[in-house]
Structure 1
């Protein structure tokens, strides 16, 4: 039975990760590429991002307004636009984008979780029937 539950949770995690890849914000593509099932056992599944997108937590939870200060260069600048900001700049913060939670909600509302539960019920039923047949041989 342990393998059946692990398979079920892997399915839920994988399908939720695929849903998250559809709705996650896109800039370089690393955040979307990096969404994956990190671990699974018969009791839990963990999905998220790894080191390919170390900024994922800032996207997911957002950031408070904060000061960005110069570290190595003499001034902060945007190389693409050529704008120079100075030695420090007030960052207004970013709004949270809980794309993993939103993906799970979408997966559940879209019927994916119901289909996975039905498949789980069928597998459990089949296992029990097979165990009963073996017991009476």
Structure 2
């Protein structure tokens, strides 16, 4: 009597489910670390961080914070000019100005350190 092998025809779905479960677990860990590393001013960036799995792909990052990339990578020196007015003004400014030479901002990585934190898969 020979050994008989049967392959479950639904094996791709089972494999996808196991993969998605592993990615969700990994995403939760990366998100937890990113939330620990992110600099907090107002808390808006930290509150915008998410981890999601879709079609076997894990995404971790900010969903709606327009300056998330600038915090992660920093910015080069740049000029700030008004978009809709003739001058810029803010509380405490001596007078309105036509432009500001911004020195740029230093990078404050939070996603890359979270991604590269060593992990044990169990």
TM-score, normalised to structure 1, is 0.70
CA deviations 1:30-63 (Å, max 9, x no partner) are: 1001111143443x31111112x11111111211
Match 1:9 to one of 10, 13, 23: 23
Aligned to 2:112: 101
Aligned to 1:21: 35
Q: After the TM superposition, which residues 111-130 of structure 1 pair with which residues of structure 2 at under 5 Å, given as runs? A: 113-114=119-120, 117-118=121-122
| Change in CA separation of 1:47 and 1:83 when aligned onto 2, cut-off 3 Å | farther
Runs (5+) with no aligned partner, structure 1: 119-137
| Change in CA separation of 1:83 and 1:16 when aligned onto 2, cut-off 3 Å | farther
| Change in CA separation of 1:20 and 1:84 when aligned onto 2, cut-off 3 Å | farther
> Superposition RMSD on alpha carbons, in Å?
1.7
Contact 1:10 1:40 in 2 (8 A): no
> Secondary structure at 2:63's aligned position in 1?
coil
Match 2:78 to one of 66, 83, 86: 66
Runs (5+) with no aligned partner, structure 2: 1-14
Aligned residue-pair number: 108
Higher helix share: 1
Contact 2:27 2:52 in 1 (8 A): no
User: Deviating runs (4+, > 3 A) in structure 1?
Assistant: 38-42, 82-85
Query: How much does 1:85 deviate?
Result: 5.4
> Secondary structure at 2:85's aligned position in 1?
coil
